[in-house]
Structure 1
Amino acid sequence: MRSLPPHLDLFGLIILLGVAQGLFLGLFFLTGSRSGSIANRCLGWLMLSISAVIGEILLGYSNYQFQLLDWVDFSEPLNFLMGPLFFLYVFARIRGRLPRQWAWHLLPALIWAINAISWLYQPVEYKYNNYLEAWHPELPQVAELHTYLSEDFLGLRDYINELTLLSCLLYNGLALAVIKPAFQKAGKSVWSSSPAVLARLRNLTLLFAVLPLLIVIVKPQFQEDLGDYLLACYLTGVIYVTSFLVMSGSTFFQDNVPEQAPNPIGNVPGPERATGETSEEPRRKYEKSSLSEEVEDAVLRKLDQLLATEKPYLQTDMSLPKLAAQLGTSPHHLSQLLNDRLGQRFFDWLATYRVAEAKQLLRNTNTAYLKIDEIAERVGYNSPSAFHTAFKRITNQTPAQFRDAAQTERN
């Protein structure tokens, strides 16, 4: 079997840097406290998947595939993992959780992987010819053995480009369908530059949406895979744009808050800060904190966004570890942040927001039909007695007394 010497030109070097940076970024999001966030895990696996896809393109483009014939087309199933992972990342970043039955989105990649299992058992001559057909049609192919299994049980491999294009379009559309209502909920246009977290997600989605357009432009211009190096260079650009956003500051995943805001979560309608400390007192505590100012501000901004979009305090099973996981930090750091910056322990903070929500329900004439116990359940309390205790402690009134007073004011 004839082979060609490896070569690495400018395009090859760009792709190689993309592979390295994608691997680094993937491991970055999948390790440490960052891995506590579902969105970070989705982004980490997305970066690793892209690295594998462009890594295979690099092997073919640079002729290194001649030395690794067993690895021909090894990343094909990942073509159908990139779109779902990006959508799951966007969904989890906005909602703080994965969509229901999220595993179904991974089914196409699984089906493709099962269909490709027999590819592992093909003779090296067959894989050699496959590589030549895709990357070196000018070279003569070798005689093949006829003892191998079918390499394509489902008859889908000839349509991989079209199916990849369809997957990219579908999941970019789903991502935009999640982002648009989030902008509307924030009272902003989908093209607005704020909230910053949504603007960044929108821009990344548009960046990924260019990929199917490039597939449509590039593929018809080249025989087989000869133009894939251009797609790999673009994906390398996506990796480095993501890296730039990460390195540009810890506000990458959070919304902007005025630097001098008296309450770091003041953008969200809710209870006032329950502390009598002066602004200098939390600052002195803060200076002793093991968390840097940048990191604490970042977590508070993410908490601000989470409160605006998800109201996690209404979940009956909300706990310090669960909230910390949604914010991508540790329970210890979150507890320290609530104490030092907001002057509240976690359960006090939780009760304050739940009671504030209950007060809105008790005032609202549209929910006047609700019983007190039903309101307790709506705001996250499994126990009516715990709700009564918290409400009385914070308002100096029982829920029934508060409702009566609100009704008297309306009359």
Structure 2
Amino acid sequence: MLKTYRFVITRLPANTPSDAAFYLVGSFNNWQPADTHYRFRRQSSGLYGLALRTKQARIEYKVSRGSWATVEGSGHGQVRANRMATHQQARAGELEVRVQSWEDLNGTFQFYSLYDLLLLFSCLQGVLLAVAIPQTQYANRAANRWLLWLLGLGALAMLLTVVSGYREVANAYPKLALLPDFIWFLYGPLFYCYLRRLLFNEVRPAHQWRYLLPVGLQLLVYLPYLLLDSYEFQLKLVSHDAVLRAVLLATGAAAWLSNGAYWLACRRILRAYTRQYESSASYEQSLQYLGTVLGIQAACLILWGFLFGLVLASRWVPFDVDALAARNVELIWLTFSTLPYVLGYVAIRQPEIFKLVPATPANGPDVPAAQPVPEAPSPTLPPPTPVAAPRPGPARPPLALDQPALLATVTAYMQEHKPYLNPSLTIHELATGLKLPPHVLSKVINEGFGKNFFDFINAYRIEEFKAVMATPRAQQYSLLGVALEVGFNSKTAFNRAFKKQTDQTPRQYFSGVREE
């Protein structure tokens, strides 16, 4: 049964030629841009109207002036998403069409939209960082190489996204629109390898090829379309060819799942590193930027999942899914483009993040102290037991430690030598001063004092801070000045440790003392 759609053009751009003819082009006529059967006619009201009869209950369409070069545009130089109409909407009345612009008549000042500028500036920021990071003195070059790949590929993907959306490029090189998709399967493994190298100095060259396997499969899937004639591919793209649409959706869903898995793996790595350095270091690492990056990635994944939700919902609820999907994709790219800005800000405020040294576990090999730590008399350890030459047999349980004696030794050493005043104190340095193996000291602190090394040292610093604040000379200093004097390396580290120890902020605890 034929269904009738009545269209009326209610708005035309001011630069529309006075003698122009307007055609409806869409899924009902195989996207022929100058089909005389679908030419708009001027009505008595002065508006252009057209009655379309088709069997399709849902159509996609655009308005053209007789060719694909003169099709309607988005208003700022980019290709406009297909319009959509359903028979249910047509039965409610005439379908109004407001033409924002013509692709061949876009003004010079409409060429760059705010969206384009933000992405292009992000590309520039990524390039500048890629140049500046290798120049950082004492940089962690092995880890930063992965970061440079991330910045470079991210900048290239955003540049291709902007360029491929413009009429001249889209008409001449339509397959360019597929290239940014390859970042889908590259970003997750690159960031994962960056974290492993940065935080734990872990790398497995023999298995790195497996990270490229998904993007290799993506290339095989895309290859038939990359080899197609440009005009034929453009027609498939504009007409939303069912097979091409299915390929893009399936590839996107696989990439979404892959990136979600890598995001969870990166989150586990960051948490493991945090636990490890808290058991061996007394200072706070500059890792907040990594949490921010993971937050941006999570936002991209949420928006990406919402996009698939829109596509699924459109199967049951009639709405213009293409226009909403296009806006959603733009929002994803805008969110992704904030990553170079975040790294650029951190590079200026905290350049030491590019020099981060991989964590050393407390039960690992002894590390020479960076600064001299006073030595204490040897604590009471279990006396050695004479044994004969080793012979095969069942493993013996480890000798029990004299924990009360060790607790007393550690407490006396902390009170007498105050090693916590050293802002960069590590468990290896403290173990050297106590003449204990680091893993033994770690066990004593964890089991005897019920804390990790990070909280153990900061507890002494907080008590020292309180003691200093009780003296008259404390009136000459700010809270931050005293905090730095007792061993904290930053205001953030001090505030967080103080709140954790006392359940109050320093300002609340010392309400009569100015903070800075």
What is the TM-score when the length of structure 1 is the normalising length? 0.53
Structure 1 match to 2:127: 23
1:235-294 deviations in Å (ceiling 9; x for gaps): 1112211111112232224xxxxxxxxxxxxxxxxxxxxxxxxxxxxxxxxxxxxxxxxx
* Distance in 1 of aligned mates of 2:237 and 2:250: 17
The question of 1:2 aligning with 2:107 is answered: no
Structure 2 match to 1:282: none
* Distance in 1 of aligned mates of 2:166 and 2:158: 12
Conserved? CA contact 1:18–1:237, under 8 Å: yes
Structure 2 match to 1:182: 273
1:313 to 1:89, Cα distance in 2 relative to 1, 3 A:
farther
1:284-321 deviations in Å (ceiling 9; x for gaps): xxxxxxxxxxxxxxx5xx34x5445896889xxxxxxx
Give runs of aligned pairs for residues 281-320 of structure 1, distance below 5 A: 302-303=356-357, 306-307=359-360
Give runs of aligned pairs for residues 77-226 of structure 1, distance below 5 A: 77-99=182-204, 101-133=207-239, 156-187=247-278, 195-218=284-307, 220-221=309-310, 222-223=321-322, 225-226=326-327
Higher relative CO (Cα under 8 Å, sequence separation at least 6) belongs to 1
Structure 1 match to 2:496: none
The partner residue of 1:54 within 137, 158, 170 is 158
* Distance in 2 of aligned mates of 1:179 and 1:41: 19
* Distance in 1 of aligned mates of 2:183 and 2:213: 12
SS in 1 for 2:332: helix
Structure ID, larger Rg = 2
The partner residue of 1:72 within 147, 171, 177 is 177
Conserved? CA contact 2:165–2:177, under 8 Å: no
Structure 1 match to 2:315: none
Structure 2 match to 1:329: none
Conserved? CA contact 2:174–2:230, under 8 Å: yes
* Distance in 1 of aligned mates of 2:289 and 2:265: 16
* Distance in 1 of aligned mates of 2:132 and 2:236: 35
Unaligned runs of 5+ residues in structure 2 are 1-66, 70-102, 311-320, 373-377, 391-435, 438-516
Aligned residue type for 1:119: Y
SS in 1 for 2:203: coil
1:115 to 1:217, Cα distance in 2 relative to 1, 3 A:
closer
Corresponding pairs, count: 265
1:31-79 deviations in Å (ceiling 9; x for gaps): 7878872321111111222223322321344434234334231232221
* Distance in 2 of aligned mates of 1:133 and 1:24: 40
Conserved? CA contact 1:19–1:52, under 8 Å: yes
Aligned residue type for 2:196: F
What is the TM-score when the length of structure 2 is the normalising length? 0.43
The partner residue of 1:243 within 323, 341, 344 is 344
* Distance in 2 of aligned mates of 1:76 and 1:69: 14
* Distance in 2 of aligned mates of 1:132 and 1:31: 46
1:320-352 deviations in Å (ceiling 9; x for gaps): xxxxxxxxxxxxxxxxxx9xx9699xxxxxxxx
**CA drift at 1:124:** 0.8
Conserved? CA contact 2:189–2:262, under 8 Å: yes
Aligned residue type for 1:232: W
* Distance in 1 of aligned mates of 2:388 and 2:162: 65
The question of 1:252 aligning with 2:353 is answered: yes
Aligned residue type for 1:47: L
* Distance in 1 of aligned mates of 2:218 and 2:139: 28
1:162-208 deviations in Å (ceiling 9; x for gaps): 122112211110001111122222338xxxx9732333323322221
* Distance in 1 of aligned mates of 2:330 and 2:388: 64
1:116 to 1:218, Cα distance in 2 relative to 1, 3 A:
closer
**CA drift at 1:156:** 4.3
SS in 2 for 1:18: helix
1:364 to 1:128, Cα distance in 2 relative to 1, 3 A:
farther
* Distance in 2 of aligned mates of 1:34 and 1:109: 34
- 4+ long deviations beyond 6 Å: 30-36, 341-344, 362-366, 368-371
Q: Which has the higher helix share?
A: 1
* Distance in 1 of aligned mates of 2:232 and 2:184: 22
Aligned residue type for 1:12: D
1:238 to 1:309, Cα distance in 2 relative to 1, 3 A:
farther
Unaligned runs of 5+ residues in structure 1 are 135-140, 142-149, 254-298, 315-337, 345-358, 372-401, 404-411
SS in 2 for 1:8: coil
* Distance in 2 of aligned mates of 1:87 and 1:178: 9
1:72 to 1:99, Cα distance in 2 relative to 1, 3 A:
same
**CA drift at 1:102:** 3.3
The partner residue of 2:334 within 216, 219, 233 is 233
* Distance in 2 of aligned mates of 1:212 and 1:156: 20
* Distance in 2 of aligned mates of 1:35 and 1:121: 43
* Distance in 2 of aligned mates of 1:23 and 1:9: 21
**CA drift at 1:83:** 0.8
1:198 to 1:74, Cα distance in 2 relative to 1, 3 A:
same
Residue identity (%): 14
